[in-house]
Structure 1
């Protein structure tokens, strides 16, 4: 219990440090906000891949639906900001329940193909329903309302760094909730399902229900990221729901490292910041990014988190050796 408590707050402190560090190293508030938004999406994906063992190519469905839900709510309903975010999460959870209910009945390649098929289906639905989604153009002129609670305006969101503050608060709260989930009995049970599904089922766990719960949580978090992204850019584009977005989210998750929530933050930061830097060097920067991702995949199979932990162990090892030598010397004395 004490170890779990320390783990929760150690990783939470790292998330808070990231939020405080980004404004110091980046001059663009929009870019810093984008890092946190995609970190949320990557954490939702990591809950499926790293903790449940489900490789989903449908995360773009939930990001896109979150964008559309927020856009339509702000354009037509004029509801408060918190209600917009909650609505997006509900829409994402419902969509994830639908996708997950069918997908979890298959395993391995067939599961992956089902999520990919759902991603294509939702993309063509969004493309076809132009009166609802705007088609190719997406939903335009999405407002960015201030944070208002009980009639009190708590936080403006008009400026880039003002909006970053809002997203940072949301990011820290969601990170803390997800960390509590993965450190709970539910999280440990999901790990059991990931490691040996047949044994977990034999132990009496309802594996399908557990997978569906993970899917719904993941969908809600990813849709929340989509809603925040729509308010950041002022549009809910068709590209948010296409297959390429699902691929990008999955790449961020793998680059950071699976099975650790903060690893998703590292992966999202690396993907967004390196992509932004490479785009200033060459118009065909995606080729450079692809080559870099291949190198990362070949040389860092445990992701950025694994590399960081390995370096930390190297730093600590000499000190441990000295301590062991001191203890042996004392024993001889």
Structure 2
């Protein structure tokens, strides 16, 4: 049997995650990048995989963040158990929201996810005795992992976050390459035809919504481990907007695009904020340019450029292309 090697995208992603702490100015910035890359993956999975634009991913990210914080601080669970349970809880919440939201299409679906996101934020504020309200959830510990690995240094925290991020990305790649992912692609391209072929498109969309919500919840749990507390803006509508912007910048057609978009946004925010307090205007202009001239995002544009260079380097291939 011939040995199986990872595809170039997976290998490149693995190397990039391993190199981030050494390439970026601080390990903290690298940790922020992998956290938001995981959250952006949830948007890319829906938008690129099945064609659903959701403004509710911040709700599931916030739910995972608060759930993990409460489990760590009040329930006394270990890190692994808290991350797992908060991820599953966010997936269950997303399944419920998706079951209701996918009954509508287009702008009505978008507005339903937006409404649920706003409801989640105000619910957190209303339950201030439990969640901390506007002050956030503070005093969240970082228990050691099984085996005695203590999360008492930025490097140790990043190592755990990197493993979780890569696990989410490889899971998303596996799902999109599976028969289930093929059905999602068929729904994205022509939902009526997929229904005519006998697929229960609503059930598939709910399943994709739950999976994406679970990944967002995982990102929320990672965010809690990263910060050691849960700020209320974790579940604000702005978080959903930020994840969507990152997905569009990187390119929603591939899980790797989520990583590229999140990394670009986090690094740009770090450096542009020092140059100009209104740096979000520059991000807005960049987003407009990408939508107009690079509809597949930075990652998609890079793939197209690489394909053209390969075609030009091989005689006869350029003419066929």
Stretches of structure 1 that go unaligned for 5 or more consecutive residues are 326-333
* TM-score scaled by length of structure 1: 0.91
1:92-144 residue CA offsets vs partner (Å, 9 max, x unmatched): 01110111011000000100011011111111111111012111011012112
Kept in 1, the 8 Å contact 2:157–2:225? The answer is: no
Aligned partners of 1:67 and 1:223 also within 8 Å: yes
* Counterpart check, 1:285 vs 2:279: yes
CA positional deviation for 1:271:
0.9
Residues 27 and 204 (structure 1 numbering): CA distance in 2 closer, same or farther, change over 3 Å?
same
* Superposition deviation, residue 24 in structure 1: 2.3
Residue 53 in structure 1 maps to residue 47 in structure 2? no
Change (3 A) 1:137 1:203: same
Counterparts of residues 44-83 of structure 1 (less than 5 Å): 44-83=42-81
What SS does the aligned partner of 2:315 have?
A: helix
Structure number with larger C-alpha Rg? 1
Equivalent residue, structure 1, for 2:313 = 319
- List alignment gaps of at least 5 residues for structure 2: none
CA change 1:31–1:206 in 2 (3 A) is same
Equivalent positions of 1:214-253 (< 5 A) are: 214-253=208-247
1:301 equivalent to 2:299? Answer no
The secondary structure found in structure 2 opposite 1:77 is coil
Correspondence for 1:10 = 8
Residues 66, 88 of structure 1: 8 Å contact kept = yes
TM-score, normalised relative to structure 2: 0.94
Q: How far does residue 323 in structure 1 lie from its aligned partner after superposition?
A: 7.8
Decide which of 83, 98, 101 is 1:100's aligned counterpart: 98
1:263-292 per-residue CA deviation (whole Å, 9 max, x = no partner) reads 110011111110111111122222232233
Note if 1:263 corresponds to 2:261: no
Deviation digits for residues 209-236 of structure 1 (CA, Å, limit 9, x no counterpart): 1001101110111001001101211211
* C-alpha distance in structure 2 between counterparts of 1:214 and 1:100, whole Å: 9
Aligned equivalents of 1:313 and 1:139: distance in 2?
A: 48
Aligned to 1:330: none
Q: CA RMSD in A?
A: 1.8
What whole-Å deviation, never above 9, does each CA across 1:18-47 have from its counterpart, x for those lacking one?
Answer: 112212211311110111111111111111
Matches within 5 A, 1:104-119: 104-119=102-117
Of residues 168, 183, 186 in structure 1, which corresponds to 2:162? 168
| Alignment partners' CA distance in 2, 1:216 and 1:29 | 31
Partner of 1:38: 36
8 Å Cα contact 2:311-2:318 kept in structure 1: no
Secondary structure of the structure 1 residue equivalent to 2:275:
coil
- Shift, 1:300, TM fit: 1.7
**By how many angstroms is 1:324 displaced?**
8.3
Aligned with 2:195: secondary structure?
Answer: helix
